[in-house]
Structure 1
Amino acid sequence: MPLDNSQSRRRILKLTGAAALPAVLAGCGDGGSGGNGGDESGNESGNESGNESSGGGEALEPGEIELGGEVQAWQGVAPDQIADQENPTLTLQEGESYEITWENLDGEGHNIQILDDNDEVVDDYETEIMDQEGETQTLEIDEVTSEMSTYICEPHQGTMSGSIEVQ
């Protein structure tokens, strides 16, 4: 029997939507993450803070790394391997030197610290807190060591935290 009246069509749409809602909420819809916190391919990469990869695990070339600092996350600026990523994983070469330059994007108080697995600052690699929007700071890392595991903004470490992988 054909569905000519709008009441029947609305009822079918309502029932179809109600049946699909639990599947979407469970992460079973197309393009979802599968509900496992991973990426679209189902990989569970990154850590609790939602870090993204620095480009397939390839180490960044020694030199300058640029980030933007705002309360919701560190924003990758340069090099291209981390551009446009939130809290990008910094894959660094052991024994090499890097400069991490970051810009205050929101006028809130931020700094940067390099931590070890015990959440302690490694070799005094930290900056003072600055709160001027547009201001920049550079943290010079003379020599990357295997104890470096995380970079954070101390006042906002719940959202501004990224992994460091040493190769």
Structure 2
Amino acid sequence: MAAHDTGRRRFLSGVSGTLGVALVTGCLGGTDDGEESPEPVVDAAESLEGDTDPEAWADVESLRFDGWVGGWVGVEPEPIADVENPTLVLVEGREYEITWENMDGVHHNFAFWDADHDVVNEYSTPGTDVQGETETLKIEATAEMETYRCEYQQARQRGDVVLLDSA
């Protein structure tokens, strides 16, 4: 019994030491001042900032994303390509089609939320945990839209929405 306790203590000591080193070296994310890391979490992303110039969004009617547990990665249009959780610039009253693909087999969905964290106009996909499966959501951009999120990974899979006047 003593040999079992020694092995267990050695294992727990090793785990504690590894976690301590990870925290000291910053391997668990964040920076020394507690801010989030300026690098994308998802390896498929190249940036955290897309093009939010309204001119770049003038003709956009469809958007594509890859869904990862670490964040949404923009596929198209160009202003969001390879950007993790990009800000969407939408024109109020314009219709859009948003399609996303499950890249990791974890349950995701895509939803637009208002400032009170409620889904806007039922703009939410049912969700899927099937890797490679896609879901499409047709919306009309409204002033209530504040963010888009995965309702299952709300902290990591979220981005802002900027609404432009339709005029």
TM bin (shorter chain): 0.5 to 0.7
Q: Distance in 2 between matches of 1:62 and 1:84?
A: 17
Q: Which amino acid aligns with 1:55?
A: D
Q: Within 5 Å, give how 1:1-167 maps onto structure 2.
A: 52-58=48-54, 60=57, 61-141=59-139, 143-167=140-164
Larger Rg: 1
Greater shift in the superposed pair: 107-116 or 52-61: 52-61
Q: Distance in 1 between matches of 2:66 and 2:51?
A: 18
Query: Measured at CA, do residues 133 and 38 of structure 1 come closer, stay the same or move farther in structure 2, by a change above 3 Å?
Result: closer
Identity of aligned residues (%): 42
Give 1:20's aligned residue.
none
Between structures 1 and 2, the one with greater helix share: 2
Residue deviations 1:27-70 (CA, integer Å, cap 9, x gap) = 8xxxxxxx97697xxxxxxxxxxx94431432623311000001
Q: Which runs of 5+ in 2 are unaligned?
A: 1-30, 39-46
Residue deviations 1:51-107 (CA, integer Å, cap 9, x gap) = 944314326233110000010000110011100010000111111011110000001
Cα root mean square deviation, aligned: 2.5
| TM-score after normalising by structure 1 | 0.68
Query: Measured at CA, do residues 106 and 37 of structure 1 come closer, stay the same or move farther in structure 2, by a change above 3 Å?
Result: closer
Instruction: Answer whether contact 1:62 1:97 (CA < 8 A) is retained.
Output: no
Greater shift in the superposed pair: 51-60 or 152-161: 51-60
Deviation at 1:26, TM superposition (A): 5.9
Q: Which amino acid aligns with 1:153?
A: C
Q: Which runs of 5+ in 1 are unaligned?
A: 1-24, 28-34, 40-50
Paired residues in the alignment total 126
Q: Give secondary structure in 2 for the equivalent of 1:114.
A: strand
Residue deviations 1:98-128 (CA, integer Å, cap 9, x gap) = 1110000001111011000110000000011
Q: Distance in 2 between matches of 1:133 and 1:38?
A: 27
Q: Distance in 2 between matches of 1:149 and 1:124?
A: 14
